[in-house]
Structure 1
Amino acid sequence: MTQGTHETEAEKASASGRWIEFDILLAGLTIALALWGFVELVEVARDTAPHAFDTQILLAFREAGHPDNPIGSARLEGAVRDITALGSTSVLVLVTAAAVVYLLLAGRRATALFVFAAVAGGQVLASLAKLEVDRPRPELVSHLVTETSLSFPSGHAMLSAVTYLTLGTLAARFVRGRATKIYLLSLAVLVTLMVGISRVYLGVHWPSDVLAGWCAGFAWAMLCWLAARLLQRRRTVDEGE
């Protein structure tokens, strides 16, 4: 092997290292921004009276002067109920279990553990946050589905973000082609957004509940990804020594 080849490989390794450093820095910054947003929304949730943007957006999904009637047809209401089910505990457990079992059968035990820990950890954090903030469900409009738990943050929005973003990011790693990667990540984001919006349409969450769920879910998913990336990097360094 010539000296020029050695230099080329060294340059590639150096460039790869710089990209990983930038990747990690960007992830850290986005986590910090998401957590800042969540903290700000906690203050909104703890106010005695609902904020104007909460009431305005919630009422925008109802017929003017009729807070019990959602906008759109009965078919739209049924479709929204179906969409919100994508963020239910039952569906998310099923999706997570299917992914974990597949990864175990494929011999990717560490990745299976990562997925389980990310989703289970998100569930624990969502439950703790609800108990800490103790915000009741909105009574401004009628609820189109029955909910008994506390309102802040939206568990559907948070756990959808954790589950679908984690699985979308993971799936994007195992496929080739930039367009396919973008499609998988975009699909994960789209499902997460649709589930969150459905909660406001159904009247069971204030918009700030959903925004907080997105912020917390995104931050947790990114934190898990960052931890996995750092562990992977450390393992690579250890193997190279």
Structure 2
Amino acid sequence: MAHNLTNLVKGMRDVRFASTPLLMVGLFAAGLYGFLAIADEVSENEIAAIDSHLLLMLRTPGDVSRPLGPPWLQETMTEITSLGGYPVLVILVGVVVGFLLVSKKFGPALFTCLSIVTGTALGHVLKLIYDRPRPDIVDHLVTTHTASFPSGHATMSAVVYLTLASLIVRLVEDTVVRVYVISIAVLLTVAIGISRIYLGVHWPSDVAAGWALGVAWASLSSLVVTGLRFYRHRDEASS
């Protein structure tokens, strides 16, 4: 059983800065604590004033239907927010998993699917549990269909982009490439979350909680990889 599990990380490299257990434990703990702290504030409605103030800051004074900035900024934010939606993320994950399959890295392909699917499912379950209404003090500039907390786009973008980034850095050796991949994943995650607030479809606390949850899940996935790599090395050394 343990040997079969270690096959999930076959072909992955050990990356010191990306897989340091203490760093990943710290990120996991910080993300989990951040999510629980925000969720507690939301449950007790103690963060409503801050949420409302931040949302209104992004709208034209006297006209909450108009976001700040020129028309092209709203269009840009709409395009950015689509990068955290299901169509783009499913295609992206499918392309990466397809690459892993044709490269005969079947274990990493399966691990990637399991990590992202379970992380996304967790976000949806939490939406059902908290069932927070969408913001009602500003106009929504894009269509929404689910509850507000935590932000699905913020959660899924963090889970997908950070998980894929942690996978890619284990498949390449160039440090510059690794730093670039991690940086792009973080920037995309942040930009998508900000776009949800700008478009008025999420309270800022929804997005912050989604980021925290996504970081915690991606860090946990990285810790699992590190553990499986350790057991694989031990098995290979003893054989």
Q: TM-score, normalised by structure 1?
A: 0.88
Q: Deviations over 1:94-151 (max 9, x none)?
A: 1111111110000101110111011101111011100111101010111001112000
Tell me, in whole angstroms, the C-alpha distance in 2 between the residues paired with 1:76 and 1:90. 22
Contact 2:158-2:211 within 8 A present in 1 as well: yes
Provide the residue aligned with 1:13 in structure 2: none
Among candidates 11, 15, 24, match of residue 27 of structure 1: 24
Among candidates 67, 70, 80, match of residue 70 of structure 1: 67
Provide the residue aligned with 1:139 in structure 2: 136
- Using the TM superposition, give the Cα deviation of residue 222 of structure 1 relative to its aligned residue in structure 2, in angstroms: 0.8
Question: Given residue 51 of structure 2, which amino acid in structure 1 is its aligned partner?
Answer: D
Alignment pair present for 1:162 and 2:159: yes
Provide the residue aligned with 2:147 in structure 1: 150
- Say what the alpha-carbon RMSD is for the aligned residues: 1.7
Question: Given residue 195 of structure 2, which amino acid in structure 1 is its aligned partner?
Answer: S
The alignment partner of 2:66 has SS state of strand
Contact 2:35-2:209 within 8 A present in 1 as well: yes
Question: Given residue 71 of structure 2, which amino acid in structure 1 is its aligned partner?
Answer: A
Among candidates 76, 81, 89, match of residue 78 of structure 2: 81
- Using the TM superposition, give the Cα deviation of residue 175 of structure 1 relative to its aligned residue in structure 2, in angstroms: 2.6
Among candidates 102, 110, 113, match of residue 116 of structure 1: 113
Provide the residue aligned with 2:205 in structure 1: 208
Q: Of the two structures, which has the highest relative contact order with CA contacts closer than 8 Å and spacing of 6 or more?
A: 2
Question: Given residue 188 of structure 1, which amino acid in structure 2 is its aligned partner?
Answer: A
Contact 1:144-1:202 within 8 A present in 2 as well: yes
The alignment partner of 1:173 has SS state of coil
Alignment pair present for 1:51 and 2:48: yes
Query: Which is higher, the Rg of structure 1 or of structure 2?
Result: 1
Tell me, in whole angstroms, the C-alpha distance in 1 between the residues paired with 2:75 and 2:51. 24
Contact 2:120-2:159 within 8 A present in 1 as well: no
Contact 1:160-1:195 within 8 A present in 2 as well: yes
Mark the runs of 5 or more structure 2 residues left unpaired by the alignment.
Answer: 1-13
- Using the TM superposition, give the Cα deviation of residue 170 of structure 1 relative to its aligned residue in structure 2, in angstroms: 1.6
- Using the TM superposition, give the Cα deviation of residue 155 of structure 1 relative to its aligned residue in structure 2, in angstroms: 0.4
Among candidates 221, 226, 229, match of residue 224 of structure 1: 221
Tell me, in whole angstroms, the C-alpha distance in 2 between the residues paired with 1:102 and 1:66. 48
Tell me, in whole angstroms, the C-alpha distance in 1 between the residues paired with 2:205 and 2:192. 14
Alignment pair present for 1:91 and 2:80: no
Mark the runs of 5 or more structure 1 residues left unpaired by the alignment.
Answer: 1-16
Tell me, in whole angstroms, the C-alpha distance in 1 between the residues paired with 2:32 and 2:117. 19
Q: TM-score, normalised by structure 2?
A: 0.89
- Using the TM superposition, give the Cα deviation of residue 61 of structure 1 relative to its aligned residue in structure 2, in angstroms: 1.0
Question: Given residue 125 of structure 2, which amino acid in structure 1 is its aligned partner?
Answer: L
Among candidates 88, 100, 103, match of residue 100 of structure 2: 103
Provide the residue aligned with 1:233 in structure 2: 230
Tell me, in whole angstroms, the C-alpha distance in 2 between the residues paired with 1:177 and 1:58. 41
Q: Deviations over 1:132-177 (max 9, x none)?
A: 1110101011100111200000000000001111111222222333
How many corresponding residue pairs? 223
Runs of 4+ in 1 over 6 A off after TM superposition: none
Provide the residue aligned with 1:12 in structure 2: none
- Using the TM superposition, give the Cα deviation of residue 50 of structure 1 relative to its aligned residue in structure 2, in angstroms: 4.9
Contact 1:67-1:140 within 8 A present in 2 as well: yes
Provide the residue aligned with 2:126 in structure 1: 129
Farther-moved stretch of structure 1 (51-60 vs 126-135): 51-60
